[in-house]
Copies of this chain bind each other. A is one copy, B any other.
Amino acid sequence: MIAHGEAAPAELLAVGSELTAGLRQDTNTLWLCGELRALHLRVARVTSLPDRIGVIAAEIGAACSRSALLIVTGGLGPTTDDRTLEGLAQGLGVRRRVHPEARAWLQEALPGKRRELSEALLRQVRLPVGARPLRNRRGTAPGLLLESGKSLLVALPGVPDEMRGLWQDEVFPELATRFPVAGKTRRRVVVGGLRESEVDGMAAPVCLRRGVDCTILAGGGVVELHLEGHGEAVISALHELRILLAHDLISCDGSSLEETVLAAARSRGGHLAVAESCTGGRVAARLTAVPGASDVFLGSLVVYSDDLKRGLLDVPDMVLRRHGAASQEAARAMVEGLRRRTGCRWGVAVTGIAGPQGSGRGKPVGSVWFAAAGPAGVVSRRRRFPGGRHRVQDEAAGMALDLLRRTVLSGGSEA
């Protein structure tokens, strides 16, 4: 839950038919939302529209009457489907004119000393009257800044690299001056081993009591809480949550589950390894996404077939025949073989039924078995995850990492 303070409302508008046709994920607005949050500007609406002048114009008119800030991305380039400038001019009821400064930038950017600018190139610098151009050092299309009534309008090119560059060089400094930030704090809390509803039931009253805004997100085997509010209130909520969550608290300093596992092993001077069946390499992929993982992570044996479980991890044939590869016994044998074969101090094994096939004998799709081992012995768990194959694989990978974390932290004994 995010409560909305009195921060100035902002809107984002992403222009491009590739977005509404489902061909390209718009990542610009997500990034901009994060940037605006850092400025404590509340995003009231994010809209994507196709490259049609009429709808762009109507939306710009409406947005300027609703919000203090409108940021438009995309449609500023030289091709015929770049229509944002026309939409802007029409929406604000102003003309367009070639902006001499922007034209000079364009000419400088051209290779050689070509004097003639093509009509296509000139389209990019035919700006709505009253606009201040923003120099794009990574491409040809300038951005622009424009006051309209009580609103500030910013337009940026859609190429992510150009958009971010212009934002950082030109727009962020301007906004930081116009909208000075209040004394608020923001913290991310990562929780393992609990369901989203359980975490919500714990956190909601703690935050409500202190007037702290709390957003809850689940995925990849963990639950995240994003707290926001006045400094002392957030710190005091964190303090209470730390006690309530105990060992289920993975981090509250912004670290991810993977980073936490690697850091715990590093500070204890031991190495980690993984044996994966149903997660098929996802545990290893998450650990190796962290730069510098190689100093504590040895590797993962992705033993998808029974032959490899026997051959690489010495899982006894009898275990596979009597209990099946998806079983507690197999998970324990896998982690024991893993420690022997790799010499890791801590290891985790995961095996189960990701689906859609493979269920049977009281083992429905989504059933996953885990075993973690360290100097103090082996612990094991069984969980059943809802959802399809990919969700089961992702959640199981997170659960394996969390069990590994608990094992490292406890020195290897029962977590």
Chain A interface (Cβ < 8 Å from any Cβ of B): 1-2, 4, 17-27, 29-37, 42-52, 55, 78-81, 120, 138-139, 159, 161-162, 164-165, 196-197, 200, 204, 215-217, 226, 271, 273-274, 276, 278-285, 287-289, 291-294, 297-305, 307-308, 311-312, 341-343, 354-357, 386-391, 393
State A400–B211 Cα separation when bound (angstroms). 51
Question: Which residues of chain B have C-beta atoms less than 8 A from A2's C-beta?
Answer: 17-18, 21, 23, 50-51, 81
Q: Is the interface of A mostly helix, strand, loop or mixed?
A: mixed
Given contacts A4-B50, A22-B36, A312-B341, 16 further A-B contacts (CB under 8 A): A2-B81, A20-B46, A21-B33, A21-B37, A79-B197, A79-B200, A164-B388, A165-B388, A281-B284, A285-B393, A289-B390, A299-B302, A300-B300, A301-B301, A311-B341, A312-B342
Quick check: B298 and A299 within 8 Å, CB to CB?
no
Question: Which residues of chain B have C-beta atoms less than 8 A from A342's C-beta?
Answer: 307-308, 311-312
State A327–B111 Cα separation when bound (angstroms). 22
Within the complex, which residue of B273, B282, B292, B355 is in contact with A281, where a contact is CB–CB below 8 Å? B282
Copies in the complex: 2
State A196–B278 Cα separation when bound (angstroms). 33
Question: Which residues of chain B have C-beta atoms less than 8 A from A26's C-beta?
Answer: 30
Given A50-B2, A55-B44, A18-B215 contact (CB < 8 Å): yes
CB distance from A329 to the nearest CB of B (A): 19
Quick check: B33 and A20 within 8 Å, CB to CB?
yes
Question: Which residues of chain B have C-beta atoms less than 8 A from A387's C-beta?
Answer: 138-139, 159, 161-162, 165
Question: Which residues of chain B have C-beta atoms less than 8 A from A390's C-beta?
Answer: 161, 289
CB distance from A55 to the nearest CB of B (A): 7
Within the complex, which residue of B22, B34, B37, B215 is in contact with A43, where a contact is CB–CB below 8 Å? B22
